[in-house]
Amino acid sequence: MPLPTIEWIGDAGGHARIIEQTLLPRELKYLDLATIEEVWDAIKRLAIRGAPAIGVAAAFGIVLGLKTSRAADASRFDADVLRAADYLASSRPTAVNLFWALERMKRRAAAVRELPLSQAREALLDEARTILAEDRRICRALGEVGAPLVPEGGSVLTHCNAGGLATADYGTALAVLFRARELGRNFRVFVDETRPLLQGARLTAWELLQAGIPATLICDSAAGMVMRDRGVRAVFVGADRIACNGDTANKIGTYSVSVLAKAHGIPFYVVAPASTFDLSLADGSSIPIEERDPSEVTAGFGARTAPEGIDVFNPAFDVTPRAHIAAIVTEKGLIERPDAARIASVLGK
């Protein structure tokens, strides 16, 4: 059982607890979040990250946002919920699970708006805990669906971190690898370091070592050579948002990995829960791409590596076109050669 990335401590007057991911792998530390502002800050600065985990954090954030509410009637309660949701939505723009969880919490709030405030907050905490429990079940289902895709005796490559640290349990892309390992499959994982914040080096490498899965860390720029020369037979990545046609946003560099995989004839798999699909978007061109602080590139982790005054373009995500994706692994089944019709068929929408 992986360490809990996020959990709730106590009753509706309690707080959220997360693993402080910016300190890994040097230090494993838990951070208590007792206010909505602390949740917003944790999401913004990547103390908690990964689309499913962000969704759970946002749900808990709504509960914390109502901690100081003095709403005396339903309309005031509605206003407090909306204010909290809008504030949390401003933390990061790309991961659709954030907005999915906030919409779900708003629907639950609308159903309990006539209850006394204390009971309404309890109901919202129950909903947030349900979102967390559902994510745990989904992680296991993703592993079951995707494990047969892991090649026996071969190597796979992954980019960024899509393990337990990105979710409430086993992860998405790494859930596939964890389950394959549990089933006795032998394989090696090449781990892209994932510039500029090194989620692969700091987080994925750490998780795979904890699980006893053979892993080799590589520079992002070595991926092409490794695909050609080191027997890579599949690529597994997570996703932060998937458009109606299958175009997929994930951590910056994923698109480049997909191009390399296509050039080498290697199947490229995206692993994500149904909540990551944004069926309101026809294709990936409409997915909002977050741009982050230039200092992450010029002075990452406090060490300056670029001259003062240089212009910087620092997108956090890029979009992989569906034509590069062999299949999308979801808890509802495998979507091979994804397009709008196949996605709708598997998701049941």
- Do residues 102 and 62 make contact, with C-beta atoms less than 8 angstroms apart? yes
Whole-angstrom distance, CA of residue 191 vs CA of residue 193: 6
Q: Does the annotation count 126 as an active-site position?
A: no
Tell me the H-state helices in the chain: 36-44, 51-65, 74-89, 96-111, 117-146, 173-182, 199, 205-211, 223-229, 254-263, 295-298, 340-347
SS3 string, 122-141, reads HHHHHHHHHHHHHHHHHHHH
- Active-site option among 240, 247, 278, 318: 240
Q: Among 5, 136, 128, which Cα is nearest to 61's? A: 128
Whole-angstrom distance, CA of residue 213 vs CA of residue 188: 7
Q: What is the 3-state composition of the chain as percent helix, strand, coil, each rounded to the nearest 5?
A: 45, 15, 35
Give the three-state DSSP class for 219.
coil
Q: Is 29 left (phi over 0), alpha (psi -120 to 50) or beta?
A: beta
Q: Which DSSP symbol is given to 203?
A: I
Catalytic positions, please? 240
